Structure 1
């Protein structure tokens, strides 16, 4: 017989429930929250619930930014180096990026998808796109030849992916996006994010979205639950995720 679904408004964190939740979450995972709440198990579970809720709320804005960023960067790179710009030697991608492109193609072929430009572009990770805004690593380790993304990617193409940013530099775009990359990865791996400056993370998402397309920022703000969750006490006992 299936047990009735508990009403979150009346969900009592008694010892039996806390024992079971601790076992399913693992002591190591819950330990971070116990440390933050001075060893109080009920408060730790409430904080874990809040962390889960705010992570879920950030998923939509991060997804919106990632897709906008990917499409804008791809558009400008394709306009300079062609649809398969990632295969063009003139783009000067470093060995790490070239390896990720090849791994992406292999993965597509393995899954019986074509390794054409639309599929490759859609399959490349957020980290890949952010890395294109960095300085670039080694093209050839043996000769210590380094990529120069400032000259091969940023100036001829990628600066135009942010048409609504006034006098922006490559570094000033890369830095906040790189912070958001680690933020996104923590969420994807179900890690704690409650110690981060989440208001700043949210503002970074909105600001970068506005650099690409102001209406995209407005769309994110109109639909986002992030402000609502951030305003909710972390010890709330009726929070849904």
Structure 2
């Protein structure tokens, strides 16, 4: 049967396309290229659905504030004035705009006109089909709004080329700062708390850019075997929580749990098949969480930053010691570690490769501590951590994480706690 599967795959998929799956499969005994290709296809479908909720939430939140802003500045709509019915019926090619200059600067002077021309093409399709639910109607601003792609909404937050000296890029960046200050910061109240801060715009822009790039990759069936799936999910939850934490929780219930479960099953083809057949899967993932105080020479924020940099410079690997070992009595072995500084301003999550006890901790091969760790020898526990990445703290909590009794992190901390994913499982 295995040979038959390979034969079919060889006919259906080119050797070049299959090569990365074969290469990855060779690293994992018992896993075939066909298994990884199936996982990639299934995960991509789940990711597209998850990202669609993010896109809809972002555009609705931004649109609401842009409408109010445009009207307050004397415009009918930030999308320009809706054309008259005869325009949709005719062949007039005169440029359409009448949108605020900031919008034209960020989207491009002709982009609004292109949206309306797309609506005119759609109108003609409606008219040719008497069974269409919009037959006999003219497009409105909501139709134009729906034609603006995710990349267009990102453009309203500014360019990502922060080092560019190009005058056009600099002009767009200035326009984005102004639009954020005048309107768009209100679309993300849980991030801004009614205070304008351009660093928040930049962070949001980078998160949305990362999510959009993933959307493009999974939409085109690209290989996503090497991505950090949890990192992307955390970014999605952070963007949604910036709008409203209830939206984040709701989306997690709709598709986030499926996203996370499928992501975990990359190298477990039998479990993946069981999941596809609706067999229940146990949820035994445990996370050990540490609150890092400023009682020593370094603040918790500085320790986390040092660990992140050490991980980046050592191929995603880092090593740390702590004063209190994880409480694993009668509990599943912890698989991940969550670090939060006492002020709740910085947090990071990583995979636990190994952990142990004792004062003379020796890093496993390939796992080196950052410089500050070398001063401390008398620690009670150590962790070898892989793929450490920063997660978002908003309003004194870490997005997506709760203890088993439902308390938010880091408010729940009394030193070290062990917890399960709740909203983030």
Query: Does the alignment reach a TM-score above 0.5?
Result: yes
In structure 2, do the counterparts of structure 1 residues 28 and 212 end up closer, same or farther at CA, with 3 Å as the change threshold?
same
Flag structure 2 segments of 5+ consecutive residues without an equivalent: 81-98, 127-137, 162-166, 278-425
Query: Using the alignment, how far apart are the partners of 1:121 and 1:61 within structure 2?
Result: 21
Partner of 1:26: 14
Pick from 111, 126, 131 the counterpart of residue 122 of structure 2.
111
Q: Is the 8 A contact 1:86 1:98 kept in 2?
A: no
Query: Using the alignment, how far apart are the partners of 1:209 and 1:33 within structure 2?
Result: 33
CA apart distance, 1:20: 1.3
CA apart distance, 1:69: 0.3
Q: Is the 8 A contact 1:136 1:146 kept in 2?
A: no
CA apart distance, 1:46: 0.5
More helix, by proportion: 1
Q: Which moved more, 1:212-221 or 1:23-32?
A: 23-32
Partner of 1:194: 225
Partner of 1:78: 67
1:103 match: secondary structure:
helix
Pick from 48, 51, 57 the counterpart of residue 46 of structure 2.
57
Q: C-alpha deviations, 1:97-140, integer Å up to 9, x for none?
A: 34433333222211216453111111110111011112499xxx
Query: Using the alignment, how far apart are the partners of 1:32 and 1:193 within structure 2?
Result: 10
Pick from 219, 224, 248 the counterpart of residue 217 of structure 1.
248
Query: Using the alignment, how far apart are the partners of 1:101 and 1:188 within structure 2?
Result: 25
* Higher RCO structure (Cα 8 Å, ≥6 apart): 1
Q: Is the 8 A contact 1:18 1:41 kept in 2?
A: no
Query: Using the alignment, how far apart are the partners of 1:156 and 1:149 within structure 2?
Result: 10
Flag structure 1 segments of 5+ consecutive residues without an equivalent: 1-11, 138-142
2:263 is the alignment partner of 1:230: yes
Pick from 149, 153, 158 the counterpart of residue 179 of structure 2.
153
Partner of 1:100: 111
CA apart distance, 1:235: 4.2
CA apart distance, 1:53: 1.5
Q: Is the 8 A contact 2:107 2:155 kept in 1?
A: no
Query: Using the alignment, how far apart are the partners of 1:127 and 1:25 within structure 2?
Result: 30
Query: Using the alignment, how far apart are the partners of 1:98 and 1:104 within structure 2?
Result: 12
TM-score by length of 2: 0.48
2:251 match: secondary structure:
helix
2:120 is the alignment partner of 1:132: no
Pick from 173, 180, 202 the counterpart of residue 171 of structure 1.
202
Query: Using the alignment, how far apart are the partners of 1:26 and 1:41 within structure 2?
Result: 23
In structure 2, do the counterparts of structure 1 residues 122 and 18 end up closer, same or farther at CA, with 3 Å as the change threshold?
same
Q: C-alpha deviations, 1:171-193, integer Å up to 9, x for none?
A: 01101110111000011111111
Answer with 1 or 2: which has the greater Rg: 2
Query: Using the alignment, how far apart are the partners of 1:15 and 1:165 within structure 2?
Result: 53
CA apart distance, 1:218: 0.7
Query: Using the alignment, how far apart are the partners of 2:70 and 2:30 within structure 1?
Result: 56
Pick from 220, 232, 239 the counterpart of residue 208 of structure 1.
239
More strand, by proportion: 2
CA apart distance, 1:160: 0.6
Query: Using the alignment, how far apart are the partners of 1:96 and 1:160 within structure 2?
Result: 20
2:79 match: secondary structure:
helix
